[in-house]
Amino acid sequence: MKKAGVIMVLMCWACVVAAQGVSDVRVKSKAGGGWATVTNDELWVSSQVRDAEGDVADIEDNSLVTIAKAHERVHNGEVYYLKDFVDVANGGSNTFLVVTANTPSNAHLFVTFAAEGESDLVAFKDTTYASTGSAVTVYNRDLSLTGVGTTISIYSSPTGVTNGTRIWGVRLGSGRTAGGDINDSLGWILKSNTVYSLTVENRVAGSATAFDYQFDWFEE
């Protein structure tokens, strides 16, 4: 798939000098040639742009449309996600395993959680387990594609879990009716060949709590 890439505007800077009334301008060839003197009549502006792959395209209607890098990755089929909810009983918890593959690439993971009542959310690395539990279905943000990357696998409700090093924790909400949410906008670049765990714990006495969860990632 063709990438939108980083846009570079190919505009002759000499035109700016010419607009200020300078008649002769000395320019140097980008290809390594010598200096040359040009007049205002010889100055020109190109309305072309070059993408990350080196291809040139004209700008239509004298406008340049850009998108954020994260949005570009979605268009390129490079962002994967899962989003769902789970009900956790009074005093109970639910754990997700994030298992990274032994590959040169790393996943840049972003997590979002929301709870309808007071809850704890903690994350660990170097977690061990007896059974991974159920694999969670993952999708490409471009729903016309089926590829979901190769760097991580995510599981729900593993058994025999022993937490490793605690790397992150947050308390959401207060009491039975005051929920909360967390969106870690910077995310984590996960180490390959490592097991991570995220556990949500219901702190509401006498009541089940619903958790919304979302994982987004791309590979680099």
Alpha-carbon dihedral of residues 49, 51, 57, 62, nearest 10 degrees?
-40
- The mean pLDDT of 140-149, rounded to a whole number, is 92
- Whole-structure pTM value: 0.69
- The mean pLDDT of 40-62, rounded to a whole number, is 60
pLDDT for residue 20 is more than 80: no
Residue-level pLDDT at 8? 41
Phi-psi region of 149 (alpha: psi -120 to 50; beta: other; left: phi over 0): left
Residue-level pLDDT at 1? 44
**Domains detected in the chain:** 8-66 (no CATH), 79-219 (2.60.120.380)
Residue-level pLDDT at 28? 54
- Residue 38 Cα distances to 20, 30, 31, 134, 155, angstroms: 15, 15, 17, 70, 66
Count of H helices and E strands in the chain?
2, 17
